[in-house]
Structure 1
Amino acid sequence: MENYFKLFSILMDKEKVYMDPSLTFGDVCRWIGVRSTAFDRWLMSELGFHGDDILKAYRGAASSYFWKKYGILL
């Protein structure tokens, strides 16, 4: 699962796929080739968060950043 997490992290941090509002956690899991239920359980056990919650947190952080820096509401 660690390798899937590395791919997930790259897609989130470098590619910023979370900026697509239609993207789901399941979509990301399909891209990296892992079952979403298994990966979600692993994320919960390792990080204490579900995959959907991580996606929401990234989106919330980006929205807050753009609002504070540029006055743009995403």
Structure 2
Amino acid sequence: MSVLKVIEILGNSTVSFEDAVQNIITEASKTVREIKSVYIKDMQVTVDKNKISQYRVNAKVSFAISEEMDN
């Protein structure tokens, strides 16, 4: 049986939305194992002097829950 947990994470980048998502995966993988998928819930940008200064992503990260059993 497979059970997944979902957490919501905010990520940002000065490069692109794709880079913001990669930053989420990179940082989450430091403490979360077996990431299965990332669902992009929302995207936005901040603007400075009529240019995009930051890309922001609100994402849901799904990962497997593994339970070690003593037998």
Q: The TM-score by the shorter chain falls in which range?
A: 0.3 to 0.5
Instruction: Tell me which protein shows more strand as a share of its residues.
Output: 2
Q: Quick one: higher RCO (CA 8 Å, sep 6+), 1 or 2?
A: 2
TM-score normalised per structure 2? 0.35
Question: In proportion to residue count, which structure has more helix?
Answer: 1
TM-score, structure 1 as length reference: 0.34
